[in-house]
Amino acid sequence: MELYQVIKKPLITEKGTMLKEQLNKISLRVDRRANKVEIRKAVETLFKTEVLEVRTMSVKGKKRRIGKSVGKRPDWKKAIVTLAPGKTVEFFEGV
């Protein structure tokens, strides 16, 4: 899998911001087929940082209703990446 296809986007949430500030962890939305090794390589090369640990989880899509029809949001995969001490990744600093 190509490096630019592995990482979809960063997850900017309250919990993710706390993890980044306190524990030096970043949360990312990644491709469902990507494994931990591919995620590690992609983060290290694209963000030019050192990765200590990668944890992944598959998130099930929620069911949604509009009138009579019932639909479902797509399933997706989340990765929480622990960075080495002193290393950072800047997404939206100063905004």
Q: What is the reported pLDDT for 93?
A: 62
Dist CA 74 CA 29 (whole Å): 13
pLDDT tens sequence for the chain (95 residues) = 788 999 999 999 999 999 999 999 999 999 999 999 999 999 999 999 999 999 999 999 999 999 999 999 999 999 999 999 998 888 766 55
Region for 22 from its dihedrals, namely left if φ exceeds 0, alpha if ψ lies in -120 to 50, beta otherwise: alpha
Instruction: Please tell me the total number of residues recorded for the chain in this structure.
Output: 95
Closest CA to 27 of 62, 56, 67: 56
Distance of CA 78 to the CA centre of its chain: 5
- CATH code linked to domain 3-83: 3.30.70.330
DSSP state of 92: S
